[in-house]
Structure 1
Amino acid sequence: MRISVILASLVGLAGSGALAEEVAPTAVSFNEGAVEQSLTGVPGDPANGRLIVGDKGQGNCVACHQVSDLADVPWHGEIGPMLDGTADRWSEAELRGIVVNAKIMFEDSMMPSFYKTEGFIRPGNAYTGKAADETFGPLLSAQQVEDVVAYLTTLKE
């Protein structure tokens, strides 16, 4: 009986997408810069996305962008566009594409590709001064990208 209940629960989770497989950075599918498919199959957490956007050790989005909602974080940059109203300007899929690899939508963008592991010119291994090795991964995990996108979709005019 117990095994049947566990099996039924797993089938229910699989049907709901809760056990969805993570999309690898090399398998992301772009459609004119947008990424329609969630990278995780799990909804993003806007509260965690807010932390990542303002965290200088993670997303560090505020190094280039201003965000009124993050007024408590010092030293907002002015290189990129203001993020206020982002949800009014871009769809969720477009925001996901921009965070994953902004250069697909905006060829001349200076924005880093947060979910990319190939196609770089001489990437380094953190701040060691050595070349990247087999441990080279994306700047943000798939779930962190989904969290940032969930937060950006809350930023309306």
Structure 2
Amino acid sequence: MRFILGAVAAFAMSTAALASELAPDAVAFTDDGVTSSLTGVAGDPAAGAETFKSRKLGNCLACHANADMSGELFHGDVGPSLDGVASRWDEAQLRAIVTNSKQIFTDETVMPGFYSLEVGQYVSEPFAGKTILTAQQVEDVVAYLGTLKE
């Protein structure tokens, strides 16, 4: 019985967390960035580091060098180095860049919008209507980037 009550409580909490997740098309971009959390839950820097370096998730190292992850292979140089990024951008700006960099830079940037449905014309059917990262993964990556100060 305790197991069933625990499972019901866990399901209720996960449902509540999903209910508070902001939809990709509801994200408010301002001159200050994206000032509100996408989930209402603080990001986890350790989980963000895993997402950041995962080739199946963020794959950020494909384009960005990051001395904090010097032990990882294949740092790219298409984008700027992320060393000290939290000294250049605040949390709201970082959240906006990760959510949809095209809203912050230009439509010509090669950086994808990780929590955007604006992903181009020729999207493979299994990925149509889906974001690259979840809202919580964006919050986790932002929390990780926030640790990269000069």
TM-score category (smaller protein): 0.7 to 0.9
Specify the code of the residue in structure 1 equivalent to 2:144. Y
Alpha-carbon distance, 1:33 to partner: 6.8
Alpha carbons 2:113, 2:119 under 8 Å: kept:
no
- Residues 116, 138 of structure 1: 8 Å contact kept: yes
Q: Please show how residues 2-151 of structure 1 align to structure 2 within 5 Å.
A: 21-32=20-31, 34-107=33-106, 108-118=108-118, 120-125=120-125, 133=128, 136-151=129-144
TM-score (norm 2): 0.83
* Stretches (4+) displaced over 6 A: none
Give unpaired runs (5+ residues) of structure 2.
1-12
Query: Are the counterparts in 2 of residues 37 and 93 from structure 1 also a CA contact under 8 Å?
Result: yes
Q: CA deviation at 1:71?
A: 1.0
What's the CA shift for 1:19? 8.6
> Which of these two proteins has the greater Rg computed from alpha carbons?
1
Residue of structure 2 equivalent to 1:7? none
- Closer, same or farther: CA 33–98 of 1 in aligned 2, 3 Å: farther
Distance 1:45 1:77 in 2: 24
Q: Name the Cα RMSD after superposition.
A: 2.1
Q: Tell me if the contact between 2:43 and 2:136 (Cα under 8 Å) persists in the aligned partners.
A: yes
Structure 2 Cα separation of the partners of residues 121 and 36 of structure 1: 29
Aligned equivalents of 2:124, 2:32: Cα separation in 1: 26
Structure 1: give runs of 5+ residues left out of the alignment. Answer: 1-12, 127-131
Instruction: Go from structure 1 to structure 2 and tell me whether the alpha carbon gap of 1:77 and 1:118 turns closer, same or farther (over 3 Å shift).
Output: closer
Shift of 1:20: 7.0
TM-score by length of 1: 0.79
**Higher normalized helix content (fraction of residues):** 2
Cα drift, residue 119 of structure 1 = 6.3
The percent identity for this pair of structures is 50
Asked whether the 8 Å contact 1:26–1:118 carries over to 2, the reply is no
C-alpha distance in 2, partners of 1:119/1:65? Answer: 20
- Compared with structure 1, are the counterparts of its residues 19 and 113 closer, same or farther at alpha carbon in structure 2 (3 Å cutoff)? closer
Query: Conserved in 2, the CA contact under 8 Å of 1:32 and 1:104?
Result: no
Q: Secondary structure at the match of 2:37?
A: coil
